[in-house]
Structure formats: structure tokens, C-alpha cells
Amino acid sequence: AAAEGGKPAWFQTYLKLTDLFANLFPLWTLVSAGVAVKSPQSFAFFSTDLFTFGLAVLMFSMGITMTLDDFKRVLTKPAAVGMNFLACYVMMPLLGLALGKAFALSPGLVAGLVLVGSINGGQASNLCTYIAKGDVALSVIMTTSTTLGCIFMTPLLCKLLLGSIVPVDAVGVAWSAVQVVLAPIFLGVALNKVAPRFCRAVEPLCPVIGIVSTVLLVGASVAQCADDILAAGLGLQIPVMLLHLLGGAAGYWLARSIGSDEVVSRTTAIETAMKSSAFGFLLASLHFGDYLARVPAAVSVVWMALMGSSMAVVWRFIPVGDGGSGAAPQGGIARAGGRGAARGSVLGSPGRAAGAHLSGGLSKGQL
């Protein structure tokens, strides 16, 4: 039987289950991290090659939900997008360096903390922005801009800030960013161009695929460093937690300082706090001479998800008080609207756009 909107009843049920599954994303993250710490061998099958492939698949799934117009739309809110870019690649790396020095971490751990601060925003921020009544379309644009920026900013920052601390292969970092980020995204965009109907047909599958992939990446990251994470104790947990907490708070007030409304400020806070920690773990594993450099990224995978989801849940119950027009609706993630609505959303209210972008959900979902 056809349900509302002409969709089969089973499909409507699937979308509702997808909503529930996505809303429990922080829980799945904690479960995966707990299993990885208690039983690291559970993720022994997740080799570096498979880890790289998993990230590439996530970025490809982001690409199939986008068009070239989405990249052009970065120019429609230059102040907010520019502020987020500077927070991501100036404030956060320096904050990571300052925290590492303040807590007297070893050179390898300092390098890892700076690396976490120097990578792009995590796509799980899109879901958290939706829950927090932020501007999901703007969140996607911010994530896209920092993701593209990581191709040159991350290796540059690593060389400038870390070259004298630990050996860093900056060229290798840049090449990995091209392989894992740029190439999969543009392959997805190209497929969306030549086969849009196919992409729309598979889009409802993306939230589950994205969340499952992300949870596996979290577990694999933690499992490879489980002993070191336990050994580092609170001396590492606290600075990693503060990196995400202080980054989110600074992102919010920086947005406010340039006259952004509550909706844009919430979005900027979440985007600044949530980093692509799994990508940072991969870069540390492949291109950093000190093994310990990957440990902060593994810890960050968990704290980043917890911090972002906590902000989202708190803000979910705090009304937007200044009449911001960008608040996302609180309906189903995949049910709210289509791509057509999403296209104009950045210029005004994202309204139904939230569901359109999040029908990719954590499609876009690497951490």
C-alpha cells in the first residue's frame, strides 16, 4: 500500500527506523569505542588499506549528494564560511599546540593533538547541526570548504608547526588528502551529474551506510591505540576534550562577534568543535614518524562525537531566540523535502533542505 507522499509503507517505516538509528549515533560511537578498548582484536580485520577505503567510500557518498552548484554556493555566505575556515585552520591548530604544551605532553602526543586541530571538519557535524536547530545547508557548505581546504592547509600546517617536533611527510599528507577526499568527492559529483536518478534512488541508504562505516572507523582507530590510550589516562583525555569544548565555544562567540544570528552561531560552533578525527588518525599512521602521534586522533574520535552530540541535544531544547531563519525542522531526517528545496536553502531558511542533505545523513559521515 502507498503511504503519504506516494511512497510505499515499507519505505516510510524504513525512514523512521533510519531516523532512530541516526539519533542514537553517539551511543553506537561509545559502544564501538568500548569494545575496541576492551577487545582490540575485534577490529583486527580493519587494516590500513581497508581504513583508507572506508574513508574514501564515505567521501564518495558525500559526493553523490552534491553538484557543482553546491561548491559555488560557498560564496553566498562568505563571512560565516570564512570565519569557520579560519577557526578550523588557524585557531584550532594553535589551540592544540597550546594545550599540548600546557599539559606537558610528549612530542609525539603534541604532534597528534596539533594534527587533530589541523584537519577538516567532520561530516557527522551535519547531523548534529540538524538536531541543534542549526542551518544544515550552511553546515554542509562549511564542511565542504574545510574538506577541500585540507588538501593544502593540513600538510602546510603540519610542516610549519610540527616539522621541528616530529618527522612529517607533508607531500604524503597532501597526496592522501587527494586520494581520500578530493578524488572520491568529485567522482561522486560526476556520477550525480550523469546518473542523478540512480543517485537519488540510493540516497536513502546513505545514513545507515555512513553511520555503520563511521562506527567501524571509530572502533578501528581506538583498537590500534587501546593500550596507549589507557596508559595516557586523564593527562591526554583532558586536553583532547578541551580542544573540542573550547573550540566549539570559541566558534559560537566568534560567529556572534561578526553579527551572525543564533542559528548560524550554533552551526559554526558545531562545525568548529567537530573534526574529521578518523582522517587525522589515518594521516598520523601513514605520514608521521612518531607512533604516538596517532593516539590523540584516536581519543579525539570519541570526544569529538560526544561533544558535538551533547551540544546538539542541549540546543535542541533551547528555542532560537533571535528569529534566525535558518533553523532546521524537527521532523524526520530523510523525510524532510527533496533536492530542489535544498538548492535555495542557503540564501534563506534551509527548511526542507535539512532532510535533503541529511538523506545523505552521515552519508557525509566520516568523523
Per-residue pLDDT, averaged over 223-243, amounts to 88
Give the per-residue pLDDT at 245: 95
Q: Assess whether pLDDT exceeds 60 at residue 76.
A: yes
Q: What is the mean pLDDT of the chain?
A: 78
CA-closest candidate to residue 221, choices 260, 169, 276, 265:
276
54-68, 145-159, 238-252, range with the lowest pLDDT = 54-68
Is residue 251 within 8 A of residue 272, CB to CB? The reply is yes
- Residue 333 — very low, low, confident or very high, per pLDDT cuts 50/70/90? very low
pTM: 0.72
Would you state the pLDDT for residue 164?
A: 59
Residue 143: C-alpha distances to residues 5, 119, 235 (Å): 31, 11, 30
pLDDT in tens, 265-289: 999 999 999 998 888 888 888 888 7
Q: Categorize the per-residue pLDDT at 73 as very low, low, confident or very high, splitting at 50, 70 and 90.
A: low
Q: Are 301 and 218 in contact (CB under 8 A)?
A: yes
User: How many CB atoms sit inside 10 A of residue 233's CB?
Assistant: 9
Regarding predicted confidence, which is higher, 241 or 216? 241
pLDDT in tens, 136-188: 778 878 887 888 788 888 888 888 887 756 566 767 777 877 787 778 878 98
**105 with 288: CB under 8 angstroms?**
no
pLDDT at 35 over 90: yes
